[in-house]
């Protein structure tokens, strides 16, 4: 015989099961009658309003998905709980739509595509990968440049495994490892650097070692550290030249900051932060003297000459390299000290031909965007031929976002509104901006507007290849 306590518990459960609240929560239908018909009509009206009024371009994809999933759930409920209602009959006969979409098309094609767009608009990496993988994106060379920036961004987000496992062809694996090892070296993931050097084939190891050598110079290793690396890996002129390239890239922003009496904290070279700039580092001139005569010494002389020109020491630089090879570097010095007029006249002064003048102006445009007045930037951009319009806009914006002098706040449509229709260029800017000093100065996230720019609408969608994605998107 059950105890009084057990009987009381059973009665409480039974009372709960019979309560109106539980009955309403557990109801599954089918229901008939005027009230059921009215409820079916209400559910459809709400669903249709969600799809008609919560639209692309006005709302984030996450917000759209929330309401459009509710719209689909309303239709499912009408057909399940109120199958005899006039609304259900009209839905089955194809007389009612959700916005402009037939309900079945909406559920099986629109919602899965909406899921893709929501994922693409989640952050910088997702947005860039979405642009990289678009079916209409057929420019392999441009896609490879975008992929390089995606890999760099993954590494900077400490997502090493994802970067190394990115799906590429087997013959591109050494290229990808080279991108990753550059980041592991600069940002001191020495364990992973050693693993990559250990597992790379002998054929591709010299390229990785050169990348590591440059990274060691850039991150500020001491002369003893650099010599230990050379003793372990092989002391070659090529590696010494690579170290010199890293040293000069590090020293340039430091020397400029010192000459302008600016603080050393927070210096950048491109998107790479200069680590511990207040600590003494290896003198590039002294290191150059250690590179033996030969082809590598010639390359080292050019590296050092460009460094000198970028510091304004043009006469010294000309003793090591021809003037035409120094124009970009010297222009960066002139822009840094505010002599914009002289910088714009360098193609004639250095005897550059038409092709090299265009290359020079692209580089100057980026430098001016980072340091100079807007009117000078616009004047240089106007001198470039129409065929370089997209590249010029890319360089201008890259200069703006990598500037440590100008603070750009990116808002919802800032990147999408750029006159760029190449998904690769926009994807690269997305990655670059996410890594620059300006990344902390944000308005609304710009990813939704970018996805909408390159993939608007839901018309004529092919059936999803994976039925599981259809089911997941409708939940």
Task: State residue 389's pLDDT score.
Answer: 97
Note whether 103 and 40 are same-domain residues: yes
Does the residue 88 lie in any domain?
yes
Whether 200 is in a domain gets the answer yes
Same domain, 93 and 220: no
Q: Is 255 exposed, middle or buried (0-12, 13-18, 19+ CB in 10 A)?
A: middle
Tell whether 73 and 208 lie within a shared domain.
Answer: no
Q: Do residue 179 and residue 304 come from a single domain?
A: yes
Q: What residues have CB less than 8 Å from 103, skipping those under 6 apart?
A: 72, 75, 91, 96, 97
DSSP run (H or E) holding 273 = strand 272-273
In sequence order, the β-bridge partners of residue 268 are 273
* 295 within a domain of the structure (yes/no): yes
State the pLDDT at residue 407. 80
Alpha-carbon 202 to chain mean position: 32
Which H or E run contains 43? helix 34-53
Q: Which residues of the chain have pLDDT under 70?
A: 1-28, 438-444, 466-475
Domain count, the chain: 3
User: To which H or E segment does residue 178 belong?
Assistant: helix 173-186
303 and 329 fall within a common domain: no
Please report whether residue 155 resides in a domain.
no
* SS3 at position 137: coil
Domain assignment of residue 255, yes or no: yes
User: Does 350 lie in the same domain as 259?
Assistant: no
The distance from CA 358 to its chain's CA centroid, rounded to whole angstroms, is 27
| Residue recorded with tokens 């590249």 | 391
Q: Is residue 433 assigned to a domain?
A: no
Give the model's pLDDT for residue 233.
Answer: 96
Which of 340, 367, 389 is the endpoint of a domain? 389
Among residues 313, 336, 363, the one where a domain terminates is 313
297 and 327 inside one domain: no
Distances (CA, A) of 419 to 150, 228, 267, 452: 22, 50, 30, 15
| The pLDDT value given to residue 9 | 47
Q: Are residues 374 and 297 in the same domain?
A: no
d(CA 396, CA 389): 10
Q: What are phi and psi of 98, to 5 degrees?
A: -105, 105
The answer as to whether 116 is a domain residue is yes
CB 155 within 8 A of CB 193: no
Decide which of 278, 313, 348 is a domain's last residue: 313
What does the pLDDT read at residue 130?
Answer: 97
User: 81 in a domain, yes or no?
Assistant: yes
Among 388, 448, 447, smallest CA distance to 420 is for 388
Q: Name the DSSP letter for residue 312.
A: T
417 C-beta neighbours (distance < 10 Å), count: 13
Q: Identify whether residues 236 and 347 lie together within a single domain.
A: no
* Residue 384, SS3 per DSSP: coil
Full domain range(s) for residue 44 = 25-120
238 with 279, same domain?
Answer: yes
Is the same domain home to 248 and 283? yes
Question: Both 212 and 346 in a single domain?
Answer: no
pLDDT value of residue 171: 93
């Amino acid at each position: 015989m059950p105890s009084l306590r057990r009987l009381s518990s059973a009665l409480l459960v039974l009372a709960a099961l019979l309560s109106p609240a539980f009955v309403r929560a557990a109801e599954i239908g089918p229901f008939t009658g005027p009230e059921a018909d009215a409820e079916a009509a209400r559910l459809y009206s709400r669903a249709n309003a969600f799809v008609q009024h919560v639209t692309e371009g006005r709302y984030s994809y996450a917000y759209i998905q929330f309401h459009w999933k509710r719209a689909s759930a309303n239709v499912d409920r009408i057909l399940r709980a109120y199958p005899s209602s006039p609304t259900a009959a009209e839905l089955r006969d194809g007389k009612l739509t959700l916005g402009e979409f037939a309900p079945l098309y909406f559920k099986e094609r629109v919602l899965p595509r909406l899921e893709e767009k929501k994922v693409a608009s989640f952050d910088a990496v997702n947005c860039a990968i979405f642009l990289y993988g678009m079916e209409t994106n057929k420019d392999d060379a441009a896609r490879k440049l975008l992929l390089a920036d995606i890999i760099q961004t993954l590494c900077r987000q400490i997502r090493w495994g994802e970067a190394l496992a990115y799906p590429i062809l087997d013959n591109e694996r050494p290229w990808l490892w080279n991108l990753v090892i550059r980041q592991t070296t600069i940002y001191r993931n020495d364990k992973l650097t050693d693993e990559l050097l250990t597992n790379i084939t002998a054929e591709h190891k010299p390229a990785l070692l050169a990348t590591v050598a440059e990274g060691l110079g850039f991150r500020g290793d001491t002369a003893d550290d650099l010599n230990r690396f050379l003793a372990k890996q092989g002391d070659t002129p090529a590696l010494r030249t690579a170290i010199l390239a890293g040293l000069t890239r590090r020293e340039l922003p430091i020397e400029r900051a010192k000459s302008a009496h600016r603080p050393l904290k927070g210096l950048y070279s491109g998107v790479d932060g200069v680590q511990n700039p207040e600590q003494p580092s290896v003198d590039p001139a002294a290191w150059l003297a250690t590179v033996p005569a030969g082809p590598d010494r010639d390359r080292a002389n050019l590296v050092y000459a460009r460094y000198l020109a970028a510091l304004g020491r043009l006469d010294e630089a000309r003793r090591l390299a021809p003037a035409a090879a120094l124009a970009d570097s010297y222009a960066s010095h002139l822009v840094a000290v505010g002599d914009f007029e002289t910088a714009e006249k360098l193609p004639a002064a250095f005897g550059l031909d038409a092709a090299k003048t265009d290359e020079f102006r692209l580089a100057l445009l980026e430098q001016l965007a980072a340091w100079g007045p807007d009117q000078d930037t616009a004047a240089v951009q106007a001198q470039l031929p129409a065929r370089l319009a997209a590249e010029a806009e890319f360089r201008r914006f890259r200069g703006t976002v990598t500037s440590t002098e100008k603070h750009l706040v990116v808002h919802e449509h800032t990147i999408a509104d750029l006159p760029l229709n190449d998904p690769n260029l926009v994807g690269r800017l997305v990655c670059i901006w996410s890594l620059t000093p300006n990344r902390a100065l944000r308005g609304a996230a710009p990813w939704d507007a970018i996805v909408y720019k390159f993939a608007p609408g839901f018309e004529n969608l092919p059936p999803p290849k994976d039925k599981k994605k259809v089911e997941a998107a409708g939940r």
